[in-house]
Amino acid sequence: MNNVILIKYGELTTKKDNRKEFINILSNNLHEKLKNYDVKIIKEYARMYIYFNEDDKNNILNVLKNTFGIHAFNLCYKVNTNIDDIKNIILKEISMLEFNTFKIVTKRRDKNFENSSMEFNNIIGGHILKNIKNVSVDVHNPDVYVNIEINKDDTYIYFNDIKGLGGYPVGVQKKGLLMLSGGIDSPVAGYLALKRGIKLDAIYFEAIPHTSLNAREKVISLANELLKYTTNINLYVVPITKLQESIYKNIDSTYMITILRRMMYRIAEKIAEKKDCLVLINGESIGQVASQTLSSINVINKVVNIPIIRPVACFDKLEIIDIAKRINTYNISILPYEDCCTVFLPKHPVINPKLEKCEYYESLIDYKTMIDECIKNTFVVKINDNEKINDLLKKKCVIIEVEVILWKVY
């Protein structure tokens, strides 16, 4: 395999004692995401190299574009550390590009090489100017960068960077449980959590027949979109019909959403603890709806001890929508299937709930028994094969086929 991709770590280079661990996790993630391709991955302290077959190039590039922990990457040309070989490959490849200005950037990792970096810049720059007409050097804002990394035995040559997603490799921050509702905000929150290296499982609450099987498929589709950025997601589907009906029948309508959210947090915390998730993650944005005022968040938060991360808390809706469109979740999120928080939506939900009132209303129902029942009936969808899930969704047979890939949480 003579085709090489060079990977630059970016933010990982700011790490010291745990840098090696971060690089190992990135390498493991790439091995998993590229397991269907014939590749060889070589990791070094400052760089990573992927050797691949030409037929797989586009698929591998797409994987790298969706992998957190990569600052940038480049298709490389590997040649012997010989001036004539380096000149020949650079002239051949740059001649196929459209450009007016260029800059040579040489890094001598082999300090015994016969020329200094500046001298070699001048040698290669002069060779290009001599052989290609109407081009010039621009060291500030060139059309093309010619990067040369000189090692003892071989040299890597590459041109402009392909930008990566940055962030940390997924898994360096252990695992969190994403509260995935099916709306616009929660998938974006999941994406941003993945970017900071948090491995994701997800939880979805359904109240069939008040919510539909289409709504479940919608959430599976959203989890499947997030799978592009990680290696697998366990989606825990929690049936809360009985609990939600009890809230609807027994509790003041203005407090229904607040109480329901408190119940969801209790359930999510129990599943998170059972499944080794260190935090809950959700798509709450301050002030966006009644349950997301600071007063509501404070009262709802009281029922759990687990930390809660709200990646989009200070984003406005348009900022969230922009990200949702970029990660291809927006068109799925706006499909018109109701979730648990919209099926019994009161006309005037409380925006400044009182803790003592919440505790009083909760005393009217046997919520602890119903929560235990919800958890007992929870099942998991294993989201680990993007193509398989997409195929099932297209065939509208997820609900039938799902039994093959589900099993009880407890």
- Beta-bridge partners for 168: 196
Helix (H) or strand (E) holding 104: strand 101-108
pLDDT at 391: 63
Token readout for 52 is: 């691949």
Say whether the peptide bond before residue 239 is cis (omega within 30 degrees of 0).
no
How confident is the model at residue 387, as a pLDDT? 62
Please state, in angstroms and rounded to a whole number, the distance separating the CA atoms of residues 41 and 24.
Answer: 11
300's enclosing H/E stretch is: helix 294-301
* In contact, 146 and 104? CB cutoff 8 Å: yes
Helix 57-65 vs helix 19-33: crossing angle, to nearest 10: 130
CA atoms within 13 A on the CB side of 356: 0
Please give the Cα distance from 271 to 279 (Å, whole number): 11
pLDDT at 394: 59
**CA nearest neighbour of 62 among 279, 386, 408:** 386
State the pLDDT at residue 96.
Answer: 93
- Say which amino acid occupies 226: L
* DSSP-assigned states of every residue in 201-254: EEEEEE-TTTS-HHHHHHHHHHHHHHGGGSS-EEEEEEE-HHHHHHHHHHS-GG
Alpha-helical (H) ranges within 234-385 are: 241-250, 256-274, 294-301, 317-326, 330-333, 340-343, 355-362, 367-376
Beta carbons within 8 Å of 387's beta carbon, 6+ residues apart: none
**Cis bond leading into 142, ω under 30°?**
no
Q: Considering only CA atoms, which of 225, 219, 213, 212 is closest in space to residue 180?
A: 219
Q: What does the DSSP 8-state code read for residue 105?
A: E
pLDDT computed for residue 219 by the predictor: 95
Give the pLDDT confidence score for residue 2 in this predicted structure. Answer: 64
Query: Please, are residues 300 and 291 in contact by the beta-carbon 8 Å criterion?
Result: yes
Cα 307 from Cα 313, distance rounded (Å): 15
The pTM for the full model equals 0.89
Determine the pLDDT at residue 407.
39
Query: Domains plus CATH for the chain?
Result: 3-166 (3.30.2130.30), 175-408 (3.40.50.620)
Query: How many whole angstroms separate alpha carbon 255 and alpha carbon 240?
Result: 17
Chunk the chain into consecutive blocks of 10 residues (it has 410) and report each block's average pLDDT, rounded to whole numbers: 82 75 94 94 90 93 96 92 93 95 93 92 96 95 95 90 94 96 96 97 95 93 96 96 95 94 97 97 89 92 97 96 97 89 80 96 96 95 74 51 40
